[in-house]
Amino acid sequence: MENCKTLREVCNLFEISRRVVQGYEKVGLVSASETNKYGHLLYDRETQERISQIWVYKQLGLKIKEICEVIDAPDFVRKKAIESQIVRLKKEQKQLQILIEKVMKW
């Protein structure tokens, strides 16, 4: 209870928009742990941690559906997903680098 934050506070903390969290809620990735007497959504420490983790996955380029599939999976599954995603990112970076070099010659 003491560690609970409102939606706004969570958004400020992680620098994400209200709508992003709302999106997570819609697909069932997270849900407010409770509401205060004014009906404001509250998120406990655990949920805050979960939100920031989902956000990191998203930044790595995983799709919401993919995150749904791995977020509650065993550790080794999550690690595997992250590793293969990083491999994909590296490939993309290489492609992009090639393109940049090409464009530089224009």
Kindly state whether residue 70 participates in binding a copy of itself, applying the rule CB under 8 A.
Answer: no
**Cα distance between residue 100 and residue 49, in whole Å:** 37
DSSP state, residue 28 = T
Provide, rounded to whole angstroms, the least separation between the CB of residue 46 and a copy of itself: 17
> Which stretch in 3-11, 17-25, 43-51, 82-90 sits in contact with a copy of itself by CB under 8 A?
82-90
DSSP state, residue 70 = H
Instruction: Determine which residue in the list 19, 26, 76, 106 makes contact with a copy of itself, applying CB under 8 A.
Output: 106
Q: Cβ distance 24 to 54 under 8 Å? A: yes
Residue pointed to by tokens 């940049």: 100
Which residue lies nearer to DNA by CB, 19 or 102?
19
